[in-house]
Structure formats: structure tokens, C-alpha cells
């Protein structure tokens, strides 16, 4: 189990032999070519080729590429087709409807929330009162000056004031992981390591959390490891094959939501999701992860008719691979980040969901 992949996959600013640039790394084991495309090569396949490896990770160094540059991966599939994908490990993305990833450096923010973090480590949230205010940042309040959204900074000030007045201990943000479709409220994510650009930059979101913590307000985010959208720039058929999802639609496609279902039995997929969970706790000091759509993860026949699902190895309906993933997720979060909460949106009577880890 590797939960720190965001340290080396994706785009990272580095210096090689005195030359500053960006190191790229992406998992695409079934691609025959992978290159980085951006303004520098006219967004055409063939500019900056990456080197393949036995692990399926393609990597390379692009000199002179500054922070803030937009980019995508261009992949040649087994049948010779060219597809363009956003970076699964990107730390930022363009404002929708644009879909490119953004080279981002997250290392320079100076946190001022040490008192909060110290108190959190010893806080027993299972035996102390917690009052949570859930909010959708895009519609909670709208600006009067013609802008579509308030900024992270504006929202932090307003939410702290409101939550303090109403006696809430935590604010729970409906998904802020980058997403293409406003109508999904964020529950169909494409950027599992990128706060949505609708309200500002990753630096602005760090400031949002820091401001909340300095004023005694915890921050929980809704996190969606159950499924992901079918948008062509996203994770689906990433290298021309079913990589993050199951190939068989009876396991890998959710007909109700028109989304792909993660293949929890694949080590690389589990590591991707566990790294995402760790990333938000590590880089953004998040105080809790509320896991969405748990019921759809637990049951192989969730919202399916007979003959439209595949039983597990014992002939049952339980998704054993998803159960193992959720156990690993809880063990990792509580083991590495004492005081961080994990919560489940679970709509069935599965036993032990709220049992302490």
C-alpha cells in the first residue's frame, strides 16, 4: 500500500543539472507513446515525449516550463489512436469548461494553525460534542457584483462568522475536488488532488482552511471514491483501456449516474485513492473526510437487476475489494492523522459502519 504517490506522480517543479523545469510522471501501462502537450508545442502530439518503464509509469523532464503552465498528456493507444487526458495527479486545473491541468507548487504556504493542529491530535471526537454545518460553496451565497462565485477568502470569512454565531464546530464542504459539471454539485470528480478553481487557486484554499482553523472552525470535505464521470479528459479508459475502472460494465459502469466505478481490486487504483485521501489531510490540513455513496461501494448488485451484476468469489453480493479498500482507508487516516474524522454516507443497514477503528 502506497499512500504518498502525489510526491512523485503528476507534475513537480525540479532543477536538473542547474536547469529548472518540470518532472512529469503518469501511469499508463497500455499506451505505446505518451507526451506532454501545452502552448509550447501547439497542443500537438509529439512535443515532449516521456520515457516508459516496466511499471507502466511514463516520466520525463521538460526544461524551462514555469509554474502556472497549462498542460495535458497526449497518449497513443494500442490501436494507434491519439487521446488527450488531464493529469490524474494534477494539483490544479483550468476553470471549467476548460479541462487542462496546471503546473502548481504547493510547498511555500506558511501555515498559522499550529495551535489548532496540536489540539486536534488529542481531541476525542467520538466522545465530545461535534456540530457540523454542511454547505455547497457555489450556491450558499452569491456575489452582488456580477461575479458567479465568491472567492475562497470571502467564503472563509462569511462561513466563520456564521458558524460561530450558530454554534457549529465544523463546516463540511460538499465536494471541492475539481469537477466539470456544475449540476453534479461536485459529486462527479475529475481532479482528486485539485481544489476546484471556481473559487480560487490551491493557495487560496490553503488560506481558507488556515483561516477557519485560526478561528476555531474545523473543515470536513465530502470525498467521492465510489465512482467518476465519463468525461473524455478524465480517468475513464485512460490509456485506451479500462485502467481505473473495471472493463466489464456489470462491474465498472453505474447506469443510474452514467459514471465509471473504480476497480478497487487493482493495487494502483487503491493507491491512487488512498493517496488522494492522505493528500487532503497532509497538504490541506483537512479535519475530516466524509465518504460519499458508500452503499454503492458495498454491494455488487447496487441498483442493478438480476443478470446485470457479477457475484463475488463466494457467490455473494458484497464487494469484498471495496470493503478492503474502506478498511485500508480508515486505518491509514486514523493511523497517520490522529484527530481526523472519517464519516460514511451509508444508506443501508451494513453492520459496523460507525464502529471505532
Catalytic residues: 292, 345
Secondary element (H or E) of residue 74: strand 70-76
Using DSSP bridges, classify how beta strands 253-254 and 259-261 pair: parallel, antiparallel or unpaired: antiparallel
For residues 244 and 237, give the distance between their C-alpha atoms in angstroms, rounded to a whole number: 7
Q: If we measure between CA atoms, which residue out of 57, 67, 1, 51 comes closest to residue 28?
A: 57
DSSP-based three-state secondary structure for 346: coil
CA dist., res. 125 & res. 188, Å (int) = 29
Are 263 and 246 within 8 A, CB to CB?
yes
Residue 104: which of 283, 289, 286, 285 has the closest Cα?
A: 283
Spatial CA neighbour of 236 closest among 256, 255, 261, 267: 261
What is the SS3 assignment for 263? coil
Amino acid at each position: 500500500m502506497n499512500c504518498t504517490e502525489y510526491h512523485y506522480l503528476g507534475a513537480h517543479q525540479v532543477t536538473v543539472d542547474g536547469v529548472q523545469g518540470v518532472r512529469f510522471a503518469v501511469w499508463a501501462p497500455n499506451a505505446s507513446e505518451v507526451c506532454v502537450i501545452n502552448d509550447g508545442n501547439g497542443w500537438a502530439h509529439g512535443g515532449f515525449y516521456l520515457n516508459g518503464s516496466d511499471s507502466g509509469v511514463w516520466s520525463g523532464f521538460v526544461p524551462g516550463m514555469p509554474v502556472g503552465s497549462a498542460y495535458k498528456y497526449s497518449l497513443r493507444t494500442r490501436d494507434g489512436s491519439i487521446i488527450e487526458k488531464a493529469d490524474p495527479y494534477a494539483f490544479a486545473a483550468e476553470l471549467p469548461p476548460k479541462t487542462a491541468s496546471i503546473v502548481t507548487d504547493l510547498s511555500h504556504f506558511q501555515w498559522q494553525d499550529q495551535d489548532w493542529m496540536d489540539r486536534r491530535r488529542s481531541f476525542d471526537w467520538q466522545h465530545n460534542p461535534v456540530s457540523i454545518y454542511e454547505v455547497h460553496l457555489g450556491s450558499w451565497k452569491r456575489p452582488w457584483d456580477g461575479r458567479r462565485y465568491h472567492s475562497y477568502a470571502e467564503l472563509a470569512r462569511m462561513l466563520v462568522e456564521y458558524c460561530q454565531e450558530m454554534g457549529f464546530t465544523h463546516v463540511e464542504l460538499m465536494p471541492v475536488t475539481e469537477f466539470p459539471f456544475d449540476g453534479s454539485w461536485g459529486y462527479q470528480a475529475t481532479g482528486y488532488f485539485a481544489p476546484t478553481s471556481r473559487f480560487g487557486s490551491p493557495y487560496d484554499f490553503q488560506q481558507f482552511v488556515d483561516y477557519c482553523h485560526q478561528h476555531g472552525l474545523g473543515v470536513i470535505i465530502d470525498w467521492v471514491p465510489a465512482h467518476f464521470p465519463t468525461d473524455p479528459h478524465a480517468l475513464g479508459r485512460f490509456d485506451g483501456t479500462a485502467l481505473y475502472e473495471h472493463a466489464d460494465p456489470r462491474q465498472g459502469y453505474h447506469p443510474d449516474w452514467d459514471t465509471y466505478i473504480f476497480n478497487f481490486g487493482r493495487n494502483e487504483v487503491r493507491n491512487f485513492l488512498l493517496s488522494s485521501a492522505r493528500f487532503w489531510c497532509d497538504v490541506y490540513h483537512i479535519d475530516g473526510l466524509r465518504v460519499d455513496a458508500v452503499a454503492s461501494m458495498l454491494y455488487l448488485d447496487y441498483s442493478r437487476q438480476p443478470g446485470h451484476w457479477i457475484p463475488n468469489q463466494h457467490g455473494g453480493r458484497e464487494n469484498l475489494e471495496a470493503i478492503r479498500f474502506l478498511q485500508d482507508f480508515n486505518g491509514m487516516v486514523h493511523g497517520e492523522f490522529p484527530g481526523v474524522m472519517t464519516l460514511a454516507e451509508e444508506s443501508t443497514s451494513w453492520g459496523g459502519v460507525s464502529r471505532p477503528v
